[in-house]
């Protein structure tokens, strides 16, 4: 169903723009349609959807290997302790047990970032969080594994437990890792200063500082981690795993097991969601492989939900302070940020996290003065890691709350205030990000017009409110994690053979976001063929060329470009063959509608398969390759590469809420989500990313949070960790107003992570509009709302904040840039 890419999810209650209003969404759609693509930009069902709705899609836990053993991991019962001894002899002798391993077997440290290897397959001499794995057992069944655990005797010597990142920042008697900075437990510290922040703040006519507090958040993917490993007599190791980054797993297996990469095969079956939570190479994946090597039999390690919570790697618990100074006209002068991030027991992506919490804070606004101090602390909490809109979410909430507060204090309409301060397209920021395409203005104007903002802002009755917030995110990290040897960030191989089908080989990991579908769309678009001729073979490291993985919202941009290049290369011999058949030079031919034909005379042509067979006469199957590498970007100062990307997504969301002052319950009614992903290659999938992001963002805002008592996680289950149900989802309207990006494939940019960031502060600001209190401690549970209202009453009564008094110049939908 080709159609409009602005769709309402609900049936009622959404005001439509007045007919006199210019509709930016329709305009953007019309511009895009004029390009005349046959597949790109069409609402395209996922190519594997039929397998998924019938239960046929194969996930790791669905795979059975002959003689497969059950692998289980014994969890530490201490958050921080020295392991004096582990006695596994009795467990090893227990009938049905095939192997028991401890940390000394494969002690090589590893981790996702080459500079911070501080994890091991199993604990070596020390446990650093409750739930860390101390031993691995392979046995005939689960019960036998459990019995073996009872027979493993671990003697622990408890160490001081660090559960507060503030303490980790000070000198400590025991360091969690030797590599922690100085005599503290800090893992990473970042200082950046551009311009002169103290001076600019001094000259500001208004300064607003807010502090945000954020609990950790779980990815909440529905498929628990699962890995199968098999070591065969030919000396090869095959690992099937629920991973979003097969290549890093491949490398880590090789490093830790001491086995060359070419003898290891990594297969990624269907993955039941990742959101960053399956992007580190994990200890259990390596332990599973180690058990397979040890036993010579296939071994499966499957997590239960509690294991998933203890392995964590979710969004970092964070405290941040953001100060922004503005001049009398509302121009942003300076931003000053301090962030303290609880990293838990391992580094994971922590260096990146620490940078991102600062460097992604300014966009989409222009600042000429910026200062950031960020610190990520080791604690004895389960490790935090990368989660959707990594490093861009918590900071964004505080920043957008500050902007809203400035508008309130200076009596601006918050949309007008933002419009004055946006980065223009084609601009270099003070921290040397290269901004190219940027449709943030269209985003905020579209969201304003569609939401009926003018009639609602400060005008709804007490308890109901509307709020706005913007977002900014990288469309693929410019610098790869591994840079030696040098290789492209993504490569795609194509093979077209007798059957006139095209096999697409690529290492990009589809984790439900639809990257396989994008591959097929791009290749079929370029070759002018139907999508069902394309089959995507992803991911088997034996056949798929390397893609760096599904993280940093890089896949559509980088894989899309690689696929386009590969298809264009495959087209060359096809045009040549058709040229011979038609006796017309190849540059006068084009491919469309399953044919290769003369450009200006479509009736003169040959079917795709005839051109293909002709081309194969002497060469056999056609093969082609395409690759994408980013160009060097960013400055030369320390940390200058962090946050550089070949493009950035932008967004502006308006949310409408209903807050019950009696119960403190926040009901989010509507979200108008205007998003700039450049040209949406598959609007159906882009909307799905936006809607899913809103769900995840609102969960963090309203009900989700990993709560600890000391170092003990108190809610490691989906009963106590509360993900929103269908009943709590607002109506969502997706407004795709982006212009083509100059470097993205067909003009596309990311839509996987950026759609999350504006959701939280749009609702936070709507709550402020509804009841006049600013809530900066997430999640905003009803008890916090009630407490804030109580405070407010003590101070003089529950009222809505006053309406802006500055004469609104009501920026027209067009012009005024």
Partner 1 sequence: MPKKVPVRLRVNGEEHELHLPPQRILLDVLREELNLTGTKRGCDLGTCGCCTILVDGEPRLSCLMLAKLAEGHQLTTVEGISPAGALHPVQKAFIDLGATQCGFCTPGFIVTAVAFLRDHPGATRDEISRALSGNLCRCTGYVKILDAVEAAARTLAPAQER
Nearest residue (CB) to partner 1, 16 versus 717:
717
Decide whether 222 or 663 has the Cβ nearer to ligand FES. 222
Reported as type and span, the H/E element at residue 358 is helix 350-359
**Contact of 478 with 484, CB cutoff 8 Å:** no
Q: Which does 54 bind (CB under 5 to 8 A by kind): ligand FES, partner 1, none?
A: partner 1
Peptide bond into 20 cis (omega under 30): no
Which of the choices partner 1, ligand FES, none does residue 507 contact, using the CB cut-off of 5 to 8 A by kind? none
Q: How far is the CB of 64 from partner 1 (least distance, A)?
A: 8
Picked from partner 1, ligand FES, none, the partner binding residue 691 (CB below 5 to 8 A depending on kind) is partner 1
Taking the complex as a whole, how short is the minimal distance between the CB of residue 72 and partner 1, in angstroms? 14
- Tokens representing 615? 């081309």
Rounded Cα–Cα distance for residues 40 and 745 (Å):
10
Partner from partner 1, ligand FES, none binding residue 198, C-beta < 5-8 Å depending on class: none
Give the one entry of ligand FES, partner 1, none that residue 511 binds, where binding means its C-beta sits below a cut-off of 5 to 8 angstroms depending on kind: partner 1
CB of 566 to ligand FES, least distance (A): 29
Copy the structure tokens of residue 18. 């007045």
In angstroms, give the least distance from the CB of 358 to partner 1: 28
Q: Nearest approach, Cβ of 725 to ligand FES (angstroms)?
A: 13
What values do phi and psi take at 257, rounded to 5?
A: -85, -10
Nearest to 226 by CA among 60, 446, 470: 60
In the bound state with ligand FES, the residue whose beta carbon lies nearer, of 512 and 680, is: 512
d(CA 766, CA 147): 54
Distance of closest approach, residue 243 Cβ to ligand FES, in angstroms: 16
Q: Look at residue 296 and give the partner it binds from partner 1, ligand FES, none, a contact being a CB closer than 5 to 8 Å depending on partner kind.
A: none
Question: Which one of partner 1, ligand FES, none interacts with residue 693, CB within 5 to 8 A by kind?
Answer: partner 1
194 vs 334: CA distance, rounded Å: 10
Minimal distance in Å, beta carbon 692 to partner 1? 5
Q: Name the one residue in this structure whose structure tokens are 């309402």.
A: 8
3-class SS of residue 131: coil
Specify the pairing of strand 648-659 against strand 666-676: antiparallel
Please give the radius of gyration of the chain, using alpha carbons only, rounded to the nearest integer: 27
Strands 731-736 and 7-8, sheet pairing: antiparallel
What is the DSSP pairing of strand 69-75 with strand 318-326? unpaired
Residue ranges in contact with partner 1 by CB under 8 A: 1, 9-11, 43, 45-46, 48-59, 61-62, 64, 143, 219-224, 270-273, 275, 304-305, 511-514, 684-685, 687-688, 691-696, 717-719, 723, 725-727, 729, 732
Please, which residue, 54 or 618, has the CB nearer to partner 1?
Answer: 54
> Which tokens is 804 given?
């802006």
Which residue's CB is nearer to ligand FES, number 22 or number 222? Answer: 222
Q: What is the 3-state secondary structure (H, E, C) of 593-644?
A: CCEEEECCEEEEEEEHHHHHHHHHHHHCCEEEEEEECCCCCCCCCCCCCCCC
Torsion angle (degrees, nearest 10) of CA 386, 638, 365, 400: 40
Instruction: Report the residue number, 123 or 299, with the smaller CB distance to partner 1.
Output: 299
Contact partner, 85, from partner 1, ligand FES, none, Cβ < 5-8 Å per class: none
Beginning with the edge strand found earlier in the chain, give each strand of the sheet holding 81-87 in spatial order.
126-127, 81-87, 153-158
CB of 694 to partner 1, least distance (A): 6
Residues that bind ligand FES (CB under 6 A): 222, 273, 512
Task: Quote the least distance from Cβ 222 to ligand FES, whole Å.
Answer: 4
Q: In what order do the strands lie in the sheet with 490-496?
A: 534-537, 502-506, 490-496, 622-628
Structure tokens at 644: 């550089």
- CB nearer partner 1, residue 44 or residue 813: 44
Contact, 464 vs 685, CB < 8 A? no
Minimum Å gap between C-beta 581 and ligand FES is 46
Cβ distance to ligand FES smaller for residue 31 or 222: 222
Which residue, among 724, 606, 732, 760, has the nearest Cα to 674 in the 3D structure? Answer: 732
Question: Which has the closest alpha carbon to 620: 498, 500, 534, 503?
Answer: 498
Of 221 and 412, the one with the shorter C-beta distance to partner 1 is: 221
Min CB(718)–ligand FES separation in Å:
7
State the nearest-atom distance from the C-beta of 692 to ligand FES, in Å.
Answer: 8
Under 8 Å between Cβ of 634 and 494:
no
Output 512 or 626, the one with its CB closest to ligand FES. 512
Min dist CB 512 to ligand FES, Å, is 5
Distant-in-sequence, close-in-space partners of 93: CB < 8 Å, separation ≥ 6: none
User: CB 273 → ligand FES: shortest distance, Å?
Assistant: 5
Which residue is at the shortest CB distance from ligand FES? 222
Residue 447 region by backbone torsions, left for phi larger than 0, else alpha for psi between -120 and 50, else beta: alpha
Pick between residue 172 and residue 271 the one whose CB is nearest to partner 1. 271
> What's the closest the beta carbon of residue 510 comes to ligand FES, in angstroms?
12
Cα separation values, 559 from 174, 435, 479, 740, 787, Å: 45, 21, 15, 17, 49
Identify which of residues 303 and 473 has a Cβ nearer to partner 1 in the complex. 303
Taking the C-alpha atoms of residue 227 and residue 241, their distance in angstroms, rounded to an integer, is 4
Partner whose binding site includes residue 752, from ligand FES, partner 1, none (CB under 5 to 8 Å by kind) = none
Taking phi over 0 as left and psi of -120 to 50 as alpha, with beta for the rest, 81 belongs to: beta
In the complex, the smallest distance separating the C-beta of residue 70 from partner 1, rounded to whole angstroms, is: 11
Which one of ligand FES, partner 1, none is in contact with 726 (Cβ closer than 5 to 8 A by kind)? partner 1
Q: Which does 43 bind (CB under 5 to 8 A by kind): ligand FES, partner 1, none?
A: partner 1
Shortest distance in whole angstroms from residue 702 CB to ligand FES: 19
Give 300 or 749: the residue with its C-beta nearer to partner 1.
300
Residue number with CB closer to partner 1 (718 or 786): 718
- Judge if the upstream peptide bond of residue 629 is cis by omega within 30 degrees of 0: no
The secondary element (H helix, E strand) that includes residue 446 is helix 440-451
Q: Which does 10 bind (CB under 5 to 8 A by kind): ligand FES, partner 1, none?
A: partner 1
For 537, the 3-state DSSP assignment is strand
Which CB atom, from 627 or from 735, has the smaller least distance to partner 1?
735
Choose from partner 1, ligand FES, none: what does 471 bind? Cβ within 5-8 Å by kind.
none
For ligand FES, the closer of residues 16 and 222 by Cβ is 222
411, 779 Cβ separation under 8 angstroms: no
Expressed in percent and rounded to 5, the helix, strand and coil fractions of the chain are 30, 25, 45
> What is the SS3 assignment for 174?
coil
User: Hey, is 108 helix, strand or coil?
Assistant: coil
Nearest to partner 1 of 337, 686 (CB atom): 686
Query: What, of partner 1, ligand FES, none, does residue 633 touch, CB below 5 to 8 Å by kind?
Result: none
């Amino acid at each position: 169903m080709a159609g409009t890419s602005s769709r309402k999810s609900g049936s009622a209650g959404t005001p439509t723009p007045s007919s006199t209003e210019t509709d930016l969404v329709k305009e953007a759609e019309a511009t895009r349609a004029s390009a005349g693509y046959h597949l790109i930009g069409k609402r395209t069902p996922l190519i594997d959807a039929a397998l998924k709705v019938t239960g046929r899609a194969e996930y790791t836990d669905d795979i059975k290997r002959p003689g497969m053993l059950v692998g289980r991991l014994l969890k530490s019962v201490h958050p921080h302790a020295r392991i004096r001894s582990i006695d596994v002899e009795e467990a090893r002798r227990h009938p049905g047990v095939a192997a028991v391993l401890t940390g000394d077997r494969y002690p090589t440290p590893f981790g996702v970032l080459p500079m911070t290897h501080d994890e091991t397959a199993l604990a070596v001499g020390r446990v650093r969080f409750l739930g860390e794995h101390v031993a691995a057992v392979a046995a005939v069944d689960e019960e036998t594994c459990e019995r073996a655990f009872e027979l493993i005797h671990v003697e622990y010597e408890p160490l001081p437990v660090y559960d507060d990142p503030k303490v980790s920042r000070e000198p400590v008697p025991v360091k969690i890792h030797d590599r922690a900075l100085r005599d503290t437990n800090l893992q990473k510290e970042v200082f950046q200063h551009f311009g002169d922040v103290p001076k600019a703040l001094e000259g500001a006519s208004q300064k607003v500082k807010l502090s945000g507090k954020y609990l950790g958040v779980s990815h909440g993917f529905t498929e628990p981690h699962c890995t199968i490993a098999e070591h065969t007599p030919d000396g090869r190791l095959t690992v099937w795993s629920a991973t979003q980054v097969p290549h890093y797993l491949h490398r880590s297996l090789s490093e830790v097991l001491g086995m060359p990469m070419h003898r290891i095969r990594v297969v990624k079956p269907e993955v039941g969601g990742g959101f960053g939570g399956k992007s580190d190479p994990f200890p259990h994946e390596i332990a599973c492989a180690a058990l397979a090597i040890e036993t010579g039999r296939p071994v499966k390690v499957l997590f239960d939900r509690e294991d998933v919570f203890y392995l964590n790697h979710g969004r970092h618990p964070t405290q941040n302070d953001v100060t922004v100074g503005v001049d009398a006209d509302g121009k942003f002068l300076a931003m000053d940020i301090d962030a303290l991030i609880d990293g838990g027991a391992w580094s994971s992506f922590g260096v990146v996290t620490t940078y991102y919490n600062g460097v992604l804070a300014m966009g989409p606004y222009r600042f000429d003065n910026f200062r950031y101090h960020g610190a990520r602390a080791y604690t004895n909490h389960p490790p935090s890691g990368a989660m959707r809109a990594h490093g861009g979410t918590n900071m964004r909430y505080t920043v957008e709350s500050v902007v809203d507060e400035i508008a309130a204090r200076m009596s601006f309409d918050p949309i007008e205030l933002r419009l004055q301060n946006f980065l223009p397209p084609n601009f270099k920021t003070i921290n040397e990000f290269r901004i190219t395409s940027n449709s943030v203005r269209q985003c905020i104007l579209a969201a304003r017009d569609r939401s009926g903002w003018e009639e609602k802002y400060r005008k709804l009755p007490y308890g109901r409110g509307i709020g706005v917030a913007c977002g900014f995110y990288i469309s693929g990290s410019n610098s790869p994690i591994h840079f030696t040897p040098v290789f492209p960030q993504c490569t795609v191989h194509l093979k077209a053979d007798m059957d006139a089908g095209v096999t697409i080989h690529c290492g990009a990991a589809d984790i439900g976001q639809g990257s396989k579908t994008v591959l097929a769309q791009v290749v079929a678009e370029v070759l002018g063929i139907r999508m069902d001729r394309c089959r995507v073979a992803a991911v088997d490291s034996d056949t798929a060329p390397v893609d760096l993985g599904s993280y940093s919202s890089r896949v559509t941009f980088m894989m899309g470009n690689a696929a386009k290049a590969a298809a264009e290369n495959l087209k060359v011999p096809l045009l040549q063959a058709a040229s011979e058949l038609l006796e017309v030079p190849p540059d006068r031919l084009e491919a469309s509608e399953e044919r290769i034909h003369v450009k200006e005379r479509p009736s003169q042509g040959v079917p795709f398969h005839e051109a293909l067979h002709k081309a194969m006469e002497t060469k056999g199957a056609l093969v082609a390759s395409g690759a994408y590498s980013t160009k060097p970007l960013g400055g030369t100062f320390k940390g200058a590469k962090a946050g550089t990307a070949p493009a950035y997504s932008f967004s502006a969301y308006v949310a409408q809420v209903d807050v019950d002052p009696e119960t403190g319950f926040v009901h989010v009614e509507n979200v108008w989500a205007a998003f700039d992903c450049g040209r949406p290659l598959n609007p159906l999938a882009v909307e799905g990313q936006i809607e899913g992001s809103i769900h995840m963002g609102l969960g963090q805002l309203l009900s989700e949070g990993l709560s600890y008592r000391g170092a003990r996680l108190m809610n490691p289950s989906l009963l106590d960790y509360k993900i929103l149900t269908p009943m709590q989802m607002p109506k969502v309207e997706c407004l795709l107003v982006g212009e083509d990006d100059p470097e993205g494939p067909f003009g596309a940019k990311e839509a996987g992570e950026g759609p999350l960031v504006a959701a939280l502060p749009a609702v936070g600001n709507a709550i402020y509009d509804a009841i006049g209190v600013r809530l900066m401690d997430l999640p905003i549970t009803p008890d916090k709302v009630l407490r804030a209202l109580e405070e407010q009453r003590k101070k003089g009564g529950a009222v809505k904040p006053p309406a802006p008094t500055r004469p609104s110049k009501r920026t027209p939908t067009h012009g005024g840039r």
